Structure 1
Amino acid sequence: MVGFDKQHEKLTQFDFAFAGGASGCITRATCQPLDVLKIRFQLQVEPISHKAVSKYRSIFQAVYLISREEGIKAFWKGHIPAQWLSIIYGIVQFWTFEVLSKKAYQLNLPAHTSPIVNFVCGSAAGCTATVVSFPFDVIRTRLVAQSEQKKVYEGILHAGQNICRNEGPMVLFRGLWPTVIQIGPHAGAQFMCYKIFDDLYKTFVHSTHTTLSSSLVAGSLAGLCAKTFIYPFDLAKKRLQIQGFEEGRAVFGGVHFQCKGLTDCLVRIYKVEGVPGFFKGLAPSLIKAVFTTALHFSSYEMICNLLLYARTNF
């Protein structure tokens, strides 16, 4: 179902947009705690180790510490803007990919170019969705990063108004450049790998249709491969998004990270934290990538199948 297929011509562009938004909503509600863990590790300057100087030392220790200090609800910090982010991103990403893949199909390109076509269409879809939904990503990161003891933002609307009034509207797009650099190849690799692994799975089980099991397997492997390659840019984006937010920011360790722009951010991370600093939070991020990508693609596929069934039989 992901990508143009003549069997699914009964589905409209609205169907693809609805399925993309619904899959984003389902995925976010399920996997938000993993995102909170990833962001906390990314914002910690100190090494992630068992030394006393580190606030968060492992996934299990971080879960225990956040639960004790802030309560279970902290794992859904920033959930509302994150939901808006996921829904808008899902709508734009899948709709754009379906439109572009249909245009590519009409060009009658050779079959062996399919991986390249899926990569290019996926990259364009991911970049478009990122630009549209990015302000919600900045607000979500600020809400996750703020201290419970010294709250600056009371919610999504208050955060947006506060940022625009005190720092300017363009701050809502701070970190966009490393995100676009990251999301282009990341989204492209996701769609390309998903189609490859889905086709391999169907060949292995002698099936011609994408099923829930094939979608889950292909999605999880695609998420794992794509996330590993682009992770340093994801970390840099999070560091850039909290620049200028000093008043209510929680300190995940003893050091505040300061930088100016993407290049300066990457250089400072290397100088202060070394190469391992670029991969802080990679473990929860990979766990998240496996689950979210599998859930994102499979829920999209199943929703499209339900819509197709409804349009065919009613």
Structure 2
Amino acid sequence: MAASSGSQQPMTEDHLRKGESVSGLHAVVAGSVSGLVARSVTAPMDTIKIRRQLQLASELKYRGILHTFRTVVREEGVRALWKGNVPASAMYVLYGSLQFGTYAWLNAAAVPAGLPPQAHSLAVGALAGLVSSLLTYPLDVLRTRLVANRSAHFFSLRRQARVIWATEGPAGFFRGGAWAVAATTLTTGLIFGIYETCTIAADAYSLPWLATAASPAAGLVSKAAVFPLDTVRRRLQIVDAKDIPFFTRDPGAYGALRGSRFLTVAVHMVRVEGIASLYKGLSMALCKSTPTTVITLWVYQRCIRLLEPTQTSQLPA
């Protein structure tokens, strides 16, 4: 039976809910920490996912998750699983701080709009995702280039940035950026919207299992919904790269698409490799999505609890 909406205290401690007042500074700190922790734990999974996404149909180098893992470790060493970790860590910290900082500010500012709680969380989350993805996108491009490098020789972040600037100009740091922003905005909106829908329903109907499932459900649904956009933008991020021979066994196939736009690459992938090519690496992405979302949201909530003990102590035990 639904609980009355008036005075019932929530069974779940949720600092993302509509109307929650969280210090902007605390939200930035908690978001940064949660992003860094999530990245550190899931970096190897991200490397495997990106390698699978960038592999052309004409290549048979990586066959499945375990085979990709073994091949990378055997040919490049264990450290290769963390290739691109410096820009990725910086991106996750900056992204997390921007995402949750923007969310905290908009969460309070948008209350007068009077949106239903789920719609409020979806809209605020989408806007937070748009801001954070746009400002961190150059780091994402650098991360992809470093991860794509299949040689045992590690490219430095500084070298890769100089190469992009010299051969592609500033635009090289934003290849596929518009679609990435769209995908991230949709993903973030879905994550917050689904998470809040589940936690609100858990409180209303006294379903603790639903509160537990909120984070994994948000991660899985959002990732699967936008994955084709992610795969195509990964291809766009390397298609004009000077170092393309280090990224693939068939650089000519990528070379034929130099300067192409998002839809051109997407249509080419479907025509040449089949529609399944848009979902390369999806299984790894789903495996990564759940722990990433759970870790991010869990660490964020715990950080806010530590930073604002007075507010959280008012909640029932």
TM-score under structure 1 normalisation?
0.87
The SS at the match of 1:242 is: helix
Q: Look up the equivalent residue of 2:139 and give its one-letter code.
A: F
Give the 5 Å matches for 1:84-99.
84-99=90-105
Identify if the C-alpha distance between structure 1 residues 181 and 206 changes in structure 2 by more than 3 Å, giving closer, same or farther.
Answer: closer
Identify if the C-alpha distance between structure 1 residues 129 and 103 changes in structure 2 by more than 3 Å, giving closer, same or farther.
Answer: same
Aligned-pair identity in percent equals 28
Q: Is the 8 A contact 2:39 2:92 kept in 1?
A: yes
1:125-157 deviations in Å (ceiling 9; x for gaps): 101001110110000111111232566x32x22
The SS at the match of 2:239 is: coil
Q: Look up the equivalent residue of 1:192 and give its one-letter code.
A: G
Q: Is the 8 A contact 1:34 1:288 kept in 2?
A: yes
Q: Look up the equivalent residue of 1:3 and give its one-letter code.
A: L
Identify if the C-alpha distance between structure 1 residues 62 and 116 changes in structure 2 by more than 3 Å, giving closer, same or farther.
Answer: same
Confirm or deny that 1:16 pairs with 2:27.
Answer: yes
Q: Which residue of 2 aligns with 1:210?
A: none
Following the alignment from structure 1 to structure 2, what is the Cα–Cα distance between the partners of residues 310 and 32?
35
Confirm or deny that 1:100 pairs with 2:97.
Answer: no
Q: Look up the equivalent residue of 2:134 and give its one-letter code.
A: V
Identify if the C-alpha distance between structure 1 residues 216 and 145 changes in structure 2 by more than 3 Å, giving closer, same or farther.
Answer: farther
Identify if the C-alpha distance between structure 1 residues 116 and 312 changes in structure 2 by more than 3 Å, giving closer, same or farther.
Answer: closer
Q: Look up the equivalent residue of 1:269 and give its one-letter code.
A: M
Following the alignment from structure 2 to structure 1, what is the Cα–Cα distance between the partners of residues 185 and 74?
38
Q: Which residue of 2 aligns with 1:122?
A: 125
Q: Is the 8 A contact 1:236 1:265 kept in 2?
A: yes
Q: Is the 8 A contact 1:147 1:249 kept in 2?
A: no
Confirm or deny that 1:296 pairs with 2:299.
Answer: no
Please point out which of 86, 89, 95 is paired with 1:80: 86
Following the alignment from structure 1 to structure 2, what is the Cα–Cα distance between the partners of residues 171 and 77?
20
Give the 5 Å matches for 1:201-240.
201-203=202-204, 217-240=213-236
What is the CA-CA distance between 1:90 and the residue it aligns to? 0.5
Identify if the C-alpha distance between structure 1 residues 248 and 242 changes in structure 2 by more than 3 Å, giving closer, same or farther.
Answer: closer
Give the 5 Å matches for 1:1-314.
1-3=14-16, 9=21, 11-46=22-57, 53-107=59-113, 109=114, 113-149=116-152, 153-154=155-156, 156-203=157-204, 217-247=213-243, 249-252=245-248, 254=250, 256-258=253-255, 259=257, 260-309=260-309
What is the CA-CA distance between 1:4 and the residue it aligns to? 5.0
Q: Is the 8 A contact 1:84 1:136 kept in 2?
A: yes
Following the alignment from structure 1 to structure 2, what is the Cα–Cα distance between the partners of residues 2 and 116?
17
Q: Is the 8 A contact 1:16 1:304 kept in 2?
A: yes
Following the alignment from structure 1 to structure 2, what is the Cα–Cα distance between the partners of residues 20 and 276?
34
> Any gaps of 5 or more consecutive residues in structure 2?
1-13
Q: Look up the equivalent residue of 2:66 and give its one-letter code.
A: F
Taking only aligned residues, the RMSD between alpha carbons, in angstroms, comes to: 2.3
1:236-283 deviations in Å (ceiling 9; x for gaps): 110000022143543455464343011111111111111101100000
Identify if the C-alpha distance between structure 1 residues 137 and 251 changes in structure 2 by more than 3 Å, giving closer, same or farther.
Answer: closer
Following the alignment from structure 1 to structure 2, what is the Cα–Cα distance between the partners of residues 246 and 165?
10
Count of aligned positions? 296
Q: Look up the equivalent residue of 1:22 and give its one-letter code.
A: V
The SS at the match of 2:254 is: coil
Following the alignment from structure 2 to structure 1, what is the Cα–Cα distance between the partners of residues 65 and 312?
47
The SS at the match of 2:61 is: coil
The SS at the match of 1:23 is: helix
Q: Look up the equivalent residue of 1:299 and give its one-letter code.
A: V
> Any gaps of 5 or more consecutive residues in structure 1?
48-52, 208-212
Following the alignment from structure 1 to structure 2, what is the Cα–Cα distance between the partners of residues 19 and 97?
12
Q: Is the 8 A contact 1:77 1:143 kept in 2?
A: yes
What is the CA-CA distance between 1:199 and the residue it aligns to? 2.7
